[in-house]
Amino acid sequence: MKKLRYQDFLDELAQGTHYGVFIDDTGSPGLATADLGLHPERVSWVAVIVSPTDMRDVLEQFPEALDELSNLVASEEFHFGDIYAGRREFRGVPIAIRFALFEFMAKIFRTYRFPIVVQTFDPDSLAQVRRRAPFPDAVGPFNLGKPTDAALFFLLLRVKWHLEGQRAPGVARVFVDEGYKKNGIAIRIPNFEKVFADGLICFARSSAIHPIQLADFAAFCMNRTQLLLGKAGLSDLDKRLLEILSPIAWNYINIDKFLGSLENWSKPTREM
């Protein structure tokens, strides 16, 4: 039996023959936001979908972007939670430089218009869903009674449905940031083989599979924006971050959008 290697998968992506799907989780911020009904134990998974033609550009340009990053700061990866907080390698880096990194990545998302798919569960919402539409307690290694597992599995379903609906359907290589499973582990879902190449969900380090860092950005932006929406007032830094991130709100294809004024901040209104 041929041994599958992640480098072979990257070579496929570089040839423009497959979609790339890159997934990361937001974790739990540990904060309840009553105004928006955000549960403190919520877990969100975020997928960034890159088309076959754009996949070649991404793989060619990402190493160059990382080289530029390492020239600015003592880091070889974009970790946007650390960039925003100014911690670890970004400790002591001026806020202007850190926000410039957000502007750089936001421009990439605006240019390529990567679709972003989101799935969130918390213990309460998962229990409600299971009462309305009972489904198995487990599918393969996914424990569908746990928000983390259920959110990842249903995110994969959403990505599968999205790809099936494209005018130019094709198979995708799927990579998830390590954590849920160790780097190098792959889960095979035979029923997904027509959409996910070899039916595989691959877990990897973002230092090796660079486009996972796109999902890191998308996950951070969604989570931080949700938290800011629950604030009664915004600081100047909050406003600047929202100015940078607002144009990519339309990349998120399955979550509600809100309209709000940064100058006269009040509870935003929902864009239908």
Q: What is the structure's pLDDT at 265?
A: 62
Walk along the chain (272 residues) in steps of 10 and give the mean pLDDT of each run: 78 94 78 60 94 95 94 91 93 94 96 96 90 87 94 97 88 96 94 95 96 97 86 86 93 83 61 44
Q: What is the structure's pLDDT at 134?
A: 81
Q: What is the structure's pLDDT at 267?
A: 54
Q: What is the structure's pLDDT at 175?
A: 98
Give the type of residue at 160: K
Q: What is the structure's pLDDT at 1?
A: 38
Q: What is the structure's pLDDT at 35?
A: 53
Domains annotated for the chain, with CATH where assigned, are: 6-271 (3.30.420)
Token pair in block for residue 131: 């009462």
Q: How far apart, in whole angstroms, are the C-alpha atoms of residue 121 and residue 124?
A: 8
**Of 42, 225, 214, the residue nearest 121 (C-alpha):** 42
Q: What is the structure's pLDDT at 32?
A: 52
Q: What is the structure's pLDDT at 31?
A: 53
Q: What is the structure's pLDDT at 268?
A: 55
- The answer to whether the CB of 198 falls within 8 A of the CB of 56 is no
Q: Does the global pTM surpass 0.85?
A: yes
Q: What is the structure's pLDDT at 272?
A: 38
Q: How far apart, in whole angstroms, are the C-alpha atoms of residue 259 and residue 254?
A: 16
Q: Which residues contact 203 (CB under 8 A, 6 or more apart)?
A: 175, 176, 177, 178, 179, 180, 181, 182, 183, 184, 185, 186, 187
